[in-house]
Amino acid sequence: MELPILPTSVVGSYSMPSWLERLKTEYSLRKISKADMDEVHDAAVKAAIKDQEMAGLDIVTDGEMRRDNMIDYFAERLPGVEIDHTSKQFYYDYFDSVVRGKLPIAAMGLVDDLNFLQANTDRTVKFCVTGPHSLVKRIKNEYYPGEAEFALDLARVMNLELKELVRAGAGWIQVDEPYYSGFPQDLAWGVKALNALVDGVEARIVLHICYGNRYGKPSWAGNYRYLFPTILDANVSELTLEFAWRGGEDLEMFKEFPNEFNVGVGAIDVKSDDVETPDIVAERIRHALEFIPLERVVVLPDCGCHNLPQPVALGKLRAMVEGARIVRETLGA
């Protein structure tokens, strides 16, 4: 499907309903069967897709409704990762997970979720995965000599899964690496692991880097200067960054460090329940266009909508889509 100028998308997650949170917690406490939980997840994914379509997004995701958080969904699927399933009381908490030997190669089962997404929408779809740097920050390592080695091996295993996703039709794959911002000193090996992850993966690769959005608040402070110039070595098509709540000062760096990246411009503040007007969104996009060519800009929220109430999330996405339309119209694009 051909995308317009200034295509719109979500970063990954959609509003997590409180009823689903309760059910997920009950599932993690073994009060609901897997079969029932799968049905619940299917219904929630369909609802998330529907909302994204109603908002008018060009590129949609499954809302990450099946995921407890950005780590456990992968930790549970990665071969060789041991999980203590009794280690959390609330679904959103992280499992205690550990690697005690070299990771074996095995399918992670992500293709099933991609297939479900593709079967339920005609829009362009994007599949999101947590990157190796972020995963090694939460999965305890008792085997590899260091985090860098652990991340590289994770990338090796996950690379095969990403290629399976491409075979199943994934055209857009997003890698989430928020922990770069918490550990800027790791960036060099983080990018190496990222490149190993996407090596030979024939899809449009998006790299999302934010300052954290767990519980709807930032986990770290700072600015994106730490990314440059190292990030220029990342083999990705698009960098998706947050500019709404933080302001657009960091956009200057895209002039200071010439590059070919498309840029996903975070134009919606997902840490606030106040719904932006389309004009505010349009202003944020116009500001980004002072630094990035029009044809290289994608419009998104700052980060996932997981923590927003559903009416707020839908309202924000609608405003975002309308804001992009206003800019297109103004520019005659």
Q: Give burial (CB, 10 Å; 0-12/13-18/19+) of 228.
A: middle
Of the residues 216, 259, 291, 296, which one makes contact with other proteins according to CB under 8 A: 216
Chain positions 257 to 316 lying near other proteins, rule: CB under 8 A, are 271
3-state secondary structure of 221: coil
Of the residues 79, 200, 222, 293, which one makes contact with other proteins according to CB under 8 A: 222
Of the residues 24, 46, 88, 284, which one makes contact with other proteins according to CB under 8 A: 88
Q: According to the binding rule CB under 8 A, does residue 94 interact with other proteins?
A: yes
Minimum CB distance to other proteins, residue 144 (Å): 22
**By C-beta, is 42 or 93 nearer to other proteins?**
93
- Whether residue 60 contacts residue 9, with contact meaning beta carbons closer than 8 Å, is answered with yes
**By C-beta, is 228 or 291 nearer to other proteins?**
228
In the 8-state DSSP scheme, what is residue 292? Answer: S
Q: According to the binding rule CB under 8 A, does residue 212 interact with other proteins?
A: yes
Chain positions 137 to 156 lying near other proteins, rule: CB under 8 A, are none
State the Cα–Cα distance between residues 180 and 188, nearest whole angstrom.
10
Cα distances (Å, whole numbers) of residue 23 to 19, 28, 32? 6, 9, 8
Question: Which residue stretch of 114-122, 190-198, 209-217, 291-299 sits at the interface with other proteins (rule: CB under 8 A)?
Answer: 209-217
Of the residues 85, 100, 102, 217, which one makes contact with other proteins according to CB under 8 A: 217
**By C-beta, is 226 or 257 nearer to other proteins?**
226
State the Cα–Cα distance between residues 66 and 44, nearest whole angstrom.
8
State the Cα–Cα distance between residues 187 and 306, nearest whole angstrom.
26
**By C-beta, is 199 or 215 nearer to other proteins?**
215
Q: According to the binding rule CB under 8 A, does residue 214 interact with other proteins?
A: yes
Cα 58–chain centre separation: 16
**By C-beta, is 27 or 211 nearer to other proteins?**
211
HSE-up of 165 (CA within 13 Å, CB side)? 30
3-state secondary structure of 212: coil
- Whether residue 73 contacts residue 13, with contact meaning beta carbons closer than 8 Å, is answered with no
Of the residues 221, 232, 331, 333, which one makes contact with other proteins according to CB under 8 A: 221
Minimum CB distance to other proteins, residue 71 (Å): 11
Q: According to the binding rule CB under 8 A, does residue 211 interact with other proteins?
A: yes
Radius of gyration of the chain (CA): 19
Of the residues 3, 4, 18, 256, which one makes contact with other proteins according to CB under 8 A: 18
Instruction: Name, in order, each residue with C-beta under 8 angstroms of 125's C-beta and a sequence gap of 6 or more.
Output: 59, 60, 61, 114, 117, 118, 170, 171, 172
**By C-beta, is 88 or 123 nearer to other proteins?**
88
Chain positions contacting other proteins, by CB under 8 A = 18, 21, 88, 93-94, 211-212, 214-222, 245, 271
